[in-house]
Amino acid sequence: MIDTSRYPIDQPESQQYRELIEACRAAMDDLGCARLQGFVLPEAVADMAAELAPLPTFNRSHVLSAWGDPPGDHLPADHIHRRTFPEDTHVLAGDQLADTGLRRLYESDHLRSFLADALSIPELHRFADPFQDLNVVQIRDGGLHAWHYDLSDFVITVLLQKPDLGGEFEFAPFIRGEVIPGVTGGRDGRVWDERYDDVEQLFADRWPGRQTLDLDAGDLVMFNGLRSMHRVRAVYGSTNRMVGVLSYDTKPGFTSTDAINARLYGPRCEAAIREGR
Ligand SMILES: [Fe+2]
């Protein structure tokens, strides 16, 4: 299902593989993002999308700050950390994706070791969490995924279906500074140099470094969303935007909690946990 003539992930000894890894590493260093166009072959990606389209999704509809967590009390009432944006997506959890083409892609060990090489990580492991390991995020007519940061250093996505209009991926490479040494707090214990002036420019569509990717079905994207604020622009039309999210960790055995999974995936997931499925 992978275009191995262009992306020989099954031939790690080849010159072409080494060049591919170098190109991915350079793109990750420059922009925190590497796009591999046409990584999944057109017929395979169309089959994946057709197989996933009828599955029941959970709607995540929120209004939230780009930072997720509330700002400190010291920030003024009109500070951009307090600004909120709407978000409207529909998700499938990993337990719904058994025996799908997308899961066969996720379970490829060639893919796993290729991604580790491209991200300069000694080894990557698939999540052990049955809900979070592999997800599909759909955005329907009028929906969008608002500006935010991710909680992990990298995310791997494959666009499965391109919408009729809109749905571009936009990101602000390394707009967030480094972690401030010796200061603790925040969602994961770290406090970042938030460069609020730059983010204010970004929200006003005036930040010069903004990148826009108009992805096609089959494109694989490696992305560092921890320091690069990003969003998916609004989707229009009857064709849903559909993306596969492949989760890996640098250590084996990652699992989340029942409470977090129930919140992320809704009542169907809650029932599955209750019934021990
Ligand atoms: Fe994200």
CA pair distance 246, 241, nearest whole angstrom: 16
Give the model's confidence band at 276: pLDDT under 50 very low, under 70 low, under 90 confident, else very high.
confident
Residue 168 has pLDDT above 90, yes or no: yes
Q: What share of the chain has pLDDT > 90, as a percent? A: 87
Give the integer Cα–Cα distance in Å for 72 and 79: 11
Q: pLDDT by residue (tens digit) across 196-244?
A: 999 999 999 999 999 999 999 999 999 999 999 999 999 999 999 999 9
Give residue-wise pLDDT tens across range 97-111: 999 999 999 999 999
Average pLDDT over residues 11-27: 98
Give the tens place of pLDDT for each residue, 33-67: 999 999 999 999 999 999 999 999 999 999 989 98
Q: 171 C-alpha vs ligand 1 centroid, how far in Å?
A: 10
> What is the average pLDDT score of the chain?
95
User: Cα–Cα distance between 118 and 22 in angstroms, integer?
Assistant: 7
Q: pLDDT-derived band of residue 139, with 50, 70 and 90 as boundaries?
A: very high
3-class DSSP state of 277: coil
* Residue 10 alpha carbon to ligand 1 centre in Å: 28
Residue 249: how many other CB atoms lie within 10 Å: 18
Lowest-confidence pick of 1-5, 72-76, 115-119, 128-132: 72-76
Q: Are 249 and 71 in contact (CB under 8 A)?
A: no
* pLDDT of residue 170 exceeding 90: yes
What is the pairing mode between strands 84-92 and 248-249? Answer: unpaired
Class of domain 15-274: mainly beta
- pLDDT value, residue 251: 94
Instruction: Answer left, alpha or beta for residue 142, where phi above 0 means left and psi between -120 and 50 means alpha.
Output: left
Q: Is 142 helix (H, G, I), strand (E, B) or coil?
A: coil
Tell me how far the alpha carbon of residue 44 is from its chain's centroid. Answer: 21
224 Cα to the center of ligand 1, angstroms: 9
Q: How far is the CA of 150 from the centre of ligand 1 (A)?
A: 5
Per-residue pLDDT at 250: 93
> 149 CA to middle of ligand 1, Å?
6
Quote the CA–CA distance of 232 and 143 in Å, as a whole number. Answer: 9
Burial annotation 69-104 (CB, 10 A radius, 16+ → b, else e): eebeeeeeeeebbeeebebbbbbbbbbbbeebbbbe
Interaxial angle between packed helices 15-31 and 109-118, expressed in degrees from 0 to 180 and rounded to the nearest 10: 50
pLDDT at 188: 75
pLDDT at 6 over 80: yes
Query: Stretch 19-44: mean pLDDT, rounded?
Result: 98
Residue matched to tokens 């000694």: 122
On the question of pLDDT at 153 being above 90, the answer is no
Spacing, Cα 230 to ligand 1 middle (Å): 6
pTM above 0.85, yes or no: yes
Residue 122's pLDDT band (cuts 50, 70, 90): very high
What's the mean pLDDT in 129-149? 96
Number of H helices and number of E strands within the chain?
Answer: 6, 17
- Going from the Cα of 16 to the center of ligand 1, the distance in angstroms, rounded, reads 30
